[in-house]
């Protein structure tokens, strides 16, 4: 979260491929190294796990901007969908592979030793095949966008005046809040539900059964693939007919996922299979947004400021979203459980009531996307005019004036 703005600044000014290679290399070293830390040096483990974020701060900040400079139109949407589909797929595989390796070896550390193998493969492919195209090459037939270099403060001011960027960033923050909380607490929540129903004996230390993580991981993988492709397909189909179709699709995804998640949480103590069904539907609707959100950022922000925009969006969605939501729900559950600390049933209920925050935050995210839909057509036109050089300081539409960009 803290390094994302640094890589955003570098990504708009220096060789993006080398920056991604460096970030991914740090990710591989810290992931592998953290698996060998002994218990007496726990603080070193925490520090190295924090530096794992260097990988996301560099790669996830810069990679979408390279895709944006290689493709345009519906092809860009398709390629972005291929990239972002691996967020839910990777998250789901983390539950599946991590649980399987921990069970097979009896040591969670081996999950951290397998991970760098995939990272090293990605690093080699990145070095060999990934180009470093001129910024804005796909958006401007004349090659790289001829916008003058600006200070970081000017970049921030531009983004804060870009209404579509601001509101869509708040929307993705709400989505990160929900997905982060669900990813952290769902396996534990379902395990406690089964204890309450008498389907499992209580366990001393959670999680005591890896099957919930395996099933939840499989659900996340499938729903992620289906959701991203559905969202991309809907975007490509409706965008030409409805100019603000993208934020409307995101709004529908968030607003319809909220009741599904609400029902899943309420029914957990009654039927686990039905709960998984509604979790699957809710996660599919949430996953509609992944690729579309990246596409929105690419076409409402000028190419020379896209890495900074990605970085700020990542920082905000972690700071106000998935970095704090698991802790918040846990703190709420702990506070509620004090009213009846010896009851296993109340232990489950306290977490259930805490998780009900997620559907309400989902509704809030849907409202943010509806506001984005009001401004997106004007902001997209403004960014396009600046990118292609069609606008000048004397003939800028209102949206460009608001963004305060010198063409």
Could you state, in chain order, the average pLDDT of each consecutive group of 10 residues for the chain (407 residues)? 88 89 91 89 91 86 88 81 79 79 86 87 90 76 56 89 94 94 89 79 62 78 87 86 92 96 93 91 90 87 87 90 92 91 84 94 96 93 77 46 46
Q: What is the pLDDT of residue 397?
A: 46
Do 193 and 269 form a contact (C-beta atoms < 8 A)?
yes
Q: Are 87 and 291 in contact (CB under 8 A)?
A: no
Q: Among all chains, which residue has been given the structure tokens 């995101």?
A: 250
Which token pair is 45? 């483990």
> Can you tell me which residue has the tokens 């993208």?
246
Closest C-alpha to 31, from 47, 46, 48, 56: 48
Residue with tokens 């509101």: 167
Residue 253: predicted pLDDT = 94
Q: What is the DSSP letter of 392?
A: -
pLDDT at position 140, please? 62
**What is the structure's pLDDT at 395?**
43
pLDDT for res 406: 41
Q: Rounded to two decimals, what is the model's pTM?
A: 0.80
Longest Cα–Cα distance of the chain, Å, equals: 73
Closest CA relative to residue 33, chosen from 112, 118, 94, 123: 112
Cα separations (Å) of 48 from 13, 30, 33, 116?
28, 6, 8, 14
Least Cα distance to 251 among 87, 381, 376, 362 occurs for 362
At 396 the pLDDT is: 45
CATH number at residue 173: 1.20.1250.20
Beta-carbon count within 10 A of 38 CB: 8
Write down the residue that tokens 């649980």 correspond to: 99
Domain of residue 314 covers 4-403
Could you give the number of structural domains in the chain?
Answer: 1
Query: Cα–chain-centroid distance for residue 231?
Result: 15
Instruction: Say whether the peptide bond before residue 207 is cis (omega within 30 degrees of 0).
Output: yes
b/e sequence 18-37, b meaning 16+ C-beta within 10 Å:
ebbbebbbbbbbbbbebbeb
């Amino acid at each position: 979260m803290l390094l994302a703005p640094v890589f955003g600044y570098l990504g708009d000014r220096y060789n993006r491929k080398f920056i991604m290679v460096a970030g991914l290399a740090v990710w591989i070293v810290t992931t592998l190294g953290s698996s060998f830390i002994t218990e007496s040096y726990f603080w070193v483990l925490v520090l190295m796990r924090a530096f794992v974020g260097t990988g996301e701060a560099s790669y996830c900040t810069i990679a979408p901007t390279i895709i944006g400079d290689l493709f345009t139109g519906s092809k860009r949407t398709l390629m972005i969908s291929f990239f972002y589909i691996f967020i839910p797929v990777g998250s789901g595989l983390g539950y599946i592979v991590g649980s399987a390796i921990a069970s097979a070896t009896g040591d969670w550390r081996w999950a951290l030793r397998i991970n760098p193998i995939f990272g090293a493969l990605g690093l080699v492919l990145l070095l060999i095949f990934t180009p470093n195209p001129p910024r804005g090459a796909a958006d401007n037939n004349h090659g790289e966008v001829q916008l003058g270099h600006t200070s970081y403060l000017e970049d921030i001011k531009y983004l804060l005046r870009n209404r579509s960027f601001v509101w869509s960033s708040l929307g993705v923050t709400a989505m990160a809040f929900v997905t982060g909380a669900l990813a952290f607490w769902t396996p534990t929540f379902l395990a406690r539900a089964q204890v309450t129903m008498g389907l499992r004996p209580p366990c001393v230390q959670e999680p005591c059964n890896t099957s919930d993580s395996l099933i939840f991981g499989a659900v996340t993988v499938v729903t992620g693939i289906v959701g991203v492709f559905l969202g991309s397909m809907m975007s490509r189909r409706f965008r030409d007919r409805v100019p603000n179709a993208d934020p409307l699709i995101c709004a529908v995804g968030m607003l319809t996922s909220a009741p599904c998640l609400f029902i899943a949480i309420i029914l957990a103590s009654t039927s686990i299979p039905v709960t998984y069904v509604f979790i699957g539907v809710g996660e599919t609707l949430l996953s509609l947004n992944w690729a579309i959100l990246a596409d929105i950022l690419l076409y409402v922000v000028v190419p020379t400021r896209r890495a900074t925009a990605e970085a700020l969006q990542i920082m905000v969605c972690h700071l106000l979203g998935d970095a704090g939501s698991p802790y918040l729900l846990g703190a709420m559950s702990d506070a509620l459980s004090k009213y009846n600390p010896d009851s296993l049933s109340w232990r489950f209920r306290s977490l259930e009531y805490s998780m009900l925050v997620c559907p309400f935050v989902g509704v809030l995210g849907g409202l943010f996307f509806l506001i984005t839909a009001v401004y997106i057509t004007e902001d997209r036109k403004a960014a396009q005019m600046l990118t292609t050089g069609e606008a000048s300081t004397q003939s800028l539409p209102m949206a460009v004036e608001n963004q305060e960009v010198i063409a």
